[in-house]
Amino acid sequence: MVHCTDMKLAIYMRNPALEREERIVRLVAALEAGGCVITPVKTRGELLASGAGMLLAVGGDGTFLSAAELVADSGIPVLGVNAGRLGFLSENAPDAVAEAILSGKMSIEDRPVLKVSCDAIGDDVWPYAFNEVTVHRNGAAMLGVDVRLDGEQLPTYWADGLLVATSSGSTAYSLSVGGPIVIPESKVLIVSPIAPHNLNVRPLIIPDDMTVELDLQSRDASVTLTMDNRTVEVLPGAHVSIKVAQFSLKRVRLAKSDFIRALTEKLFWGEDVRNLL
């Protein structure tokens, strides 16, 4: 149980228009009336200077991913407040958030973060991902990706690209390329080709303590490497190493939060006229 009296909260919004939205204004007012001190933040420095014990990420899943970069390895938990459309990371309605924080009916779960190593990643790029890491072709040429799992070579993937996702990211880009839905608490990674030219390759689920190494083959001038919502251009022949980071992201989960219910409500899982009879 978390009691909110004199609790310091930080709030992060990528869309400034949300500051005037009625649901968000009502949320902030309810929290302040309950004794919470709320500080708007835009940068990691502002977050750390605020002394906040929790960060509210207000928006959609993209906002949550940006908030994860602000938090990084600080140990400050993030609570996603849904002001967008779909929202698996930012799944919580503003009114439910106020009630949960003021009553302390919430818990904190550790979600894995991927660390990416590649010579093309400069000091100005945060080399971590919460949902997924991808490599993707930039031109017309097919991309060849040689994959090693803890040093063991897999057959070369020929595709538009390749994706390595966490269990948290199974309902994001991974889902759209045909990857499986994974319960977030599962300690696995998902390796999926993007539009593969090999008809006999399938997504692969591996233990999350494995190191995934990628070597890229392309006739194009460059290949795109993404880490959630951050992009880096790398040269053909680049080597990319991906493994679970030594720190995790602490995600606040409301007592009423339910992953299976979110699937049925947001993705219409099991939507079938026979289930209505």
pLDDT tens-digit profile of 40-75? 999 999 999 999 999 999 998 889 999 999 999 999
pTM: 0.88
Would you state the pLDDT for residue 178?
93
Would you state the pLDDT for residue 66?
94
Query: What residues contact 17, with CB distance under 8 A and at least 6 apart?
Result: none
pLDDT-derived band at 89, boundaries 50, 70, 90: confident
For the segment 7-37, what is each residue's pLDDT rounded down to a tens digit? 899 999 999 889 899 999 999 999 999 999 9
Residue 80, strand partner residues: 57
pLDDT at 2 over 60: no
Marked catalytic residue, from 61, 73, 110, 124? 61
Would you state the pLDDT for residue 1?
47
Q: Where are the alpha helices (DSSP H) in the chain?
A: 22-33, 44-50, 61-71, 94-103, 173-176, 259-266
* Nearest-angstrom CA–CA distance, 186 and 167: 6
How do strand 37-40 and strand 8-13 relate by DSSP bridges?
A: parallel
Residue range 243-263: mean pLDDT, rounded: 84
Task: For 192, list phi and psi in degrees, rounded to 5.
Answer: -135, 135
Q: Which DSSP helix (H) or strand (E) runs through 249?
A: strand 239-254
Q: Which two tokens stand for residue 242?
A: 């991906």
* Nearest-angstrom CA–CA distance, 71 and 78: 8
Would you state the pLDDT for residue 266?
67
DSSP 220: S
pLDDT-derived band at 277, boundaries 50, 70, 90: low
CA distances, 71 to each of 45, 109, 261 (Å): 10, 15, 28
Would you state the pLDDT for residue 85?
65
DSSP 115: E
Q: How far is CA 102 from the centre of its chain?
A: 26
Pick 126 or 276 by higher pLDDT.
Answer: 126
Q: Which two tokens stand for residue 22?
A: 């009625």
| HEC assignment per residue over 179-209 | CCCCCCCCCEEEEEEEEECCCCCCCEEEECC
Average pLDDT, the chain: 90
For the segment 126-174, what is each residue's pLDDT rounded down to a tens digit? 999 999 999 999 999 999 999 999 999 999 999 999 999 999 999 999 9
61 included as an active-site residue:
yes
Would you state the pLDDT for residue 5?
43
